[in-house]
Structure 1
């Protein structure tokens, strides 16, 4: 099943079409997305952290825990699944292990990002590795890959200045990766500039309301657009509301629990504020 899904993903990257990507986080959501007709899904690190540990996306999740969930999601259906490999869980040798584990789990795409995580002591939450190290990790990932149909996608969190983004994208493209993933708010002007730095297929991860249509993104080289984990958030909200109705005896469909939205519920039950305080205590102020 993994080989067929990877072939489908390869064909998608080579088409002149941009598709929406589904958030998949367990076997049922994988099957639902496949049945609905999505061409691709993504298993995000943030959602996996919530599913496996019930904690925020602060990089407490281990590679083994990610690989276990990826195996369940990827093998549940024929849907090609992108697995968020974070920064490869360490240095270039760790990246090789990450690729091996996630390939074995059934991933069709592995994204590897240029962030320094977990957050170092007394450093900002977002730190980028050097371009040289980023390229080293990508080269290691390509060497570790056994199935040539498995796509390795370089993900950058660089947002400004423009020259830095273009330099990183250009350098990563020359390693031989199969695509470039841009994280964060992306404008039409930026995408036009990116076409001068790479001719690889682009993937966009943007949690804001899209400023461009799929047709516009297609013309600018984007093949996959992911707009957040709304399916997971809605599931959390529905679960809380259902349990609250059951406990209180309220009728289904009432407005009970409406004072808290999904993001607030996730923050509350994942202990976002508690972990923020721990970070301030033990990682030091920025």
Structure 2
């Protein structure tokens, strides 16, 4: 039986896709009734390698995970490829390899390498023209495949809203199928980006990070087509399958912040796997590597 592609789902309407990190979480997501899933780079780093989300996972480790998960679950998978593992030639190789492993979409960001989680401070982005060159290379690599290209920009927290909108819009013109503006800090910005950026748009619900609480319905009303949510990661604490079903029914991540006795901030997870120790080690060799700090929590 031919697998449903992410493009086919999006053509029918908005898609809610929880983040997964291994075969078990993918199968639980499928059993809960979701139509798609997203392989989270941060959660893969933690579960597969025992590392924080600072660009330490290799291309081969990512490809191995994509291959295993796609072989064990029929849901179309979105895959976080970070910065594409290098320049335009590396991006071509990366996209071909990950698409062949089973991805139905990849999202690539405009951060400098090494990157860090989009909900941590200290990010930097490459020049716009360099980013667009990598987008064009990725679009070239994915041509005539079932794998969509999601252009992610982290410029919002660094260069501001207008720069983020400019980058997202330009990436569509360069060949991206979907755009993702990461780390938006206000509901007004989220709504405006949904209105002004053309084409299909993705949003990652992470209200314990840089972004405010926002519901699936709000995002759909504002023009977003693909919404991901980090539900499986914290659902393991209270029962993954029950948690995932609740997430699907409500279309919101608001209850994640209400779990008693659980520190669900992105930085708390990364610290479990040595985030600050890695930053301190890096500073031994380069003063450009600064401490990782979280964004202030917004109500």
- In the superposition, the TM-score normalised over structure 1's length comes to 0.80
> How many residues are aligned here?
260
Secondary structure of 1:225's counterpart equals strand
C-alpha distance 88-219 of structure 1, shift in aligned 2 (>3 A): same
**Structure 1: segments with no counterpart, 5+ residues:** 239-257
- In the superposition, the TM-score normalised over structure 2's length comes to 0.77
Determine the C-alpha separation between the residues in 1 that align with 2:31 and 2:237. Answer: 22
By how many angstroms is 1:133 displaced? 1.0
C-alpha distance 267-5 of structure 1, shift in aligned 2 (>3 A): same
> Which protein is bigger by CA-based radius of gyration?
1
By how many angstroms is 1:118 displaced? 0.8
- 8 Å Cα contact 2:154/2:182 also seen in 1: yes
1:72-221 equivalences in 2 (<5 Å)? 72-118=68-114, 125-159=122-156, 160-195=159-194, 197-208=196-207, 211-221=213-223
By how many angstroms is 1:191 displaced? 3.8
C-alpha distance 131-33 of structure 1, shift in aligned 2 (>3 A): same
- 8 Å Cα contact 1:184/1:206 also seen in 2: no
By how many angstroms is 1:207 displaced? 1.4
- 8 Å Cα contact 2:54/2:114 also seen in 1: yes
Partner residue in 2 for 1:51: 47
- 8 Å Cα contact 1:237/1:265 also seen in 2: no
Determine the C-alpha separation between the residues in 2 that align with 1:73 and 1:204. Answer: 23
By how many angstroms is 1:63 displaced? 0.4
- 8 Å Cα contact 1:21/1:225 also seen in 2: yes
By how many angstroms is 1:193 displaced? 3.0
**Structure 2: segments with no counterpart, 5+ residues:** 240-259, 291-299
Determine the C-alpha separation between the residues in 2 that align with 1:10 and 1:170. Answer: 20
By how many angstroms is 1:189 displaced? 2.6
